[in-house]
Amino acid sequence: ATLLASTALAQGYPERQITMVVPFAAGGPTDTVGRLVAERMSEQLGQQILIENVGGAGGTLGAAQVAGAEPDGYTILLHHIGMATSETLYRELPYETTTAFAPIGLVTEVPMTIVARADFEPADIASFVAYVKENADTITMANAGIGSASHLCGMLFMQATESPIVTVPYRGAGPAMTELVGGQIDIMCDQTTNTTEQIKGGTVKAYAVTAPERLEILPDLPTTAESGLPGVEVTVWHGLYAPAGTPPEAVERLSAALQSALADPGIAEQLAELGTAPSPAEDATPAALEARLTEELARWKPIIEEAGVYAD
Ligand code: MLT
């Protein structure tokens, strides 16, 4: 019966619209990637993919919603490096990261930039670090909650500069960016998918990029490594997941649609303008995402335990 059901499902799947949960508020970097990819995937699948923004708790609320969803192929989750870090940051997660999801594939890997409100005094990264060390208790740093990429980058930055800055969590880097541009918050470490336009538009001031190499689109921005902050290196890999138990035929169909979407020249162009690139087809597969998640769970556990930073 199961084989029959899943075969029937595969022939007809998808028969109705699919929900893609983005575990952060609309308008942020994860939402930007989600909408770009969902639009192209729905063309491949012949069904609409509806974005549902479920913010809160650094992405773990949205992840929990998908972990508990019907495993029928009609609910998927776009999440990023936070899927790995939250497993250690939250000692009481309502789901088990390694068993609650069916990986579909890697999507993109986004560098981060250390930015400040446009009128922030320091002129360059060296004076920025000196200023932060001097004034940590009066500076405010935004993030998208414990478990977010902005939180992780901020944590690494605070460790490297030994500066316990006051952090302010938002339901996503979208709302946080609005307040940074408005000058209500001082600094943030955020993904280029959310900061490139603001940096080019001069509405925020950029100090460094957290990638191993400088970015083509922001050639004058030094890397953290060349700026005396070698430990502050974060590339935000993004993966697409379904709830565990989703029929393999549906997972395969979603992975194939993801691979086609990522091969679309328009996607590559749009992501390049935002400082990133689509994952290659061989990485947009369940096995590749499974392997990356396993690797990252092991990588960040000791770093977070060493920092002694927990959400609960
Ligand atoms: C984060 O982890 O900082 C998120 O990407 C923020 C967001 O997408 O809103």
Question: What is the value of ipTM here, to two decimals?
Answer: 0.92
**End-to-end C-alpha distance for the chain, whole angstroms:** 43
Burial (CB count <10 Å: 0-12, 13-18, 19+), residue 182: exposed
CA 140-173-51 angle, to 5 degrees, is 160
pLDDT given at position 230? 84
3-state secondary structure of 53: strand
pLDDT given at position 4? 59
Region 152-169 average pLDDT? 96
| Encoded tokens for 66 | 């998908």
Q: pLDDT tens digits for 170-200?
A: 999 999 999 999 999 999 999 999 999 999 9
pLDDT given at position 5? 55
Mutate to test the pocket of ligand 1, among 20, 30, 153 (most ligand atoms within 8 A of CB): 30
CA 109-21-8 angle, to 5 degrees, is 105
Ligand 1 atom closest to Cα of 176? 9
Flag whether the pTM goes above 0.90. yes
Distance CA 145, CA 76 (A): 22
**Site residues for ligand 1, CB cut-off 6 Å:** 24-25, 28-30, 82, 144, 148-150, 172-174, 191
Distance CA 106, CA 237 (A): 7
| CB within 8 Å of 308: residues ≥ 6 apart | none
79 φ/ψ angles, rounded to the nearest 5 degrees? -135, 175
| 21, β-bridge pairs | 52, 77
DSSP state letter for 283: G
Distance CA 237, CA 209 (A): 15
Q: Whose CA is nearest to atom 9 of ligand 1?
A: 172
Ligand 1 atom closest to Cα of 29? 8
| 102, β-bridge pairs | 242
